[in-house]
Amino acid sequence: MAMNPQGPAGGRILTELRGRAAYVTLSHPGRLNALTISMWRQLEQIFGRLSSDAGLRCVVLSGEGGNFAAGADIGEFPTERADTDGVMRYHLQVIAPALRAVAACPHPVVARIEGVCVGGGLEIASQCDLRIAARSSRFGVPINKLGFPMAPDEMQGLLALAGRAATLEILLEGRVFGADEAMAKGLLTRVVPDADLDADVGRLVARLEKGAAMAARLNKQMVARLSARPEPLSEAELRSFFSYAPSRDHREGVDAFLAGREPVFSGD
């Protein structure tokens, strides 16, 4: 079937069915597939629909044009994340539901990764079940340069894969690193030569399609059930965390990024 575009031309999610596999593509031309609010919401809706399709055997999630995703679209930050309430709404009501929809999909979800997979892109990939990356792909969460931390719901996926030490390294250094290092940190299922990415993912999809769908669903359910999860954060804890929103450093980080200059942080 042909690609089915969802959302505005500036940023959208494409879907395609090939046999018993669904292919979901992040598409934001010229922006390294940075996700707009509309795209986050489309992602939630699409995975909700795919989850209810009993005929599917797997979902392949990738980015268009040689990159997975460069995170959230920072161009929306000045209007959509202007104060504490806006920041909380953006992270808790836009990004978190999209990530939960990917994680909750009963079908195996495969991240096909090439190029840039940073910030929100890495958060999405972390919610997938399998992550196959081209060797030249790049990873990281450089939001320390934007003057804000990673939101709790977004951190859970990264923490579950990389553990405490590597998660802190990734967040505190804000460094972008290669696929082999990402593999060593536990972020990936495997790394393949760039030229072999499509063939490797194709073989993986064929194995998933031949497997028992019920067994796959039950394995996913039991892994989720047996994985330790913290108690939900209280409203007071969330508001305390997101209180960074009106800080000078937060404004400076976003302003500097949009202006194309280095930020100067004061600690305020």
140-186: pLDDT as tens digits: 999 999 999 999 999 999 999 999 999 999 999 999 999 999 999 99
What range defines the domain where residue 67 resides?
Answer: 4-194+213-223
Going by pLDDT thresholds of 50, 70 and 90, the confidence category of residue 2 is very low
257 within some domain: no
What is the residue-averaged pLDDT of the chain?
94
pLDDT at 9: 58
Share of the chain above pLDDT 90, in %: 90
Residue 242 within any structural domain of the chain: no
pLDDT of residue 82: 85
Residue 53 located in a structural domain: yes
Scan for tokens 């494409």, then name that residue. 14
Residue 261 falls inside a structural domain = no
pLDDT value of position 4: 61
Q: Give the pLDDT score at 94.
A: 97
Residue 126, in any domain of the structure: yes
Helix H or strand E encompassing 74? none
Residue 240, C-beta contacts closer than 8 angstroms, at least 6 positions apart? none
Per-residue pLDDT, 66: 98
Residue 268 falls inside a structural domain: no
Sequence letter at residue 208: L
In a domain, 28, yes or no: yes
At residue 267 the predicted structure's pLDDT band, cuts being 50, 70 and 90, is confident
Residue 138: phi, psi to the nearest 5? -130, 145
Give domain status of residue 240, yes or no.
no
Give the CATH number for residue 18.
3.90.226.10
Q: How far apart are CA 21 and CA 16, in angstroms?
A: 8
pLDDT at 1: 37
Count: domains in the chain: 1
Beta strand pairing call for 109-113 and 21-27: unpaired
Contact between 249 and 266 (Cβ < 8 Å): yes
pLDDT in tens, 103-139: 999 999 999 999 999 999 999 999 999 999 999 999 9
Q: In this predicted model, what pLDDT tens digit does every residue of 42-62 receive, in sequence order?
A: 999 999 999 999 999 999 999
Amino acid at 81: R
Q: What is the mean pLDDT of residues 72-93?
A: 93
When pLDDT is cut at 50, 70 and 90, the band that residue 8 belongs to is low
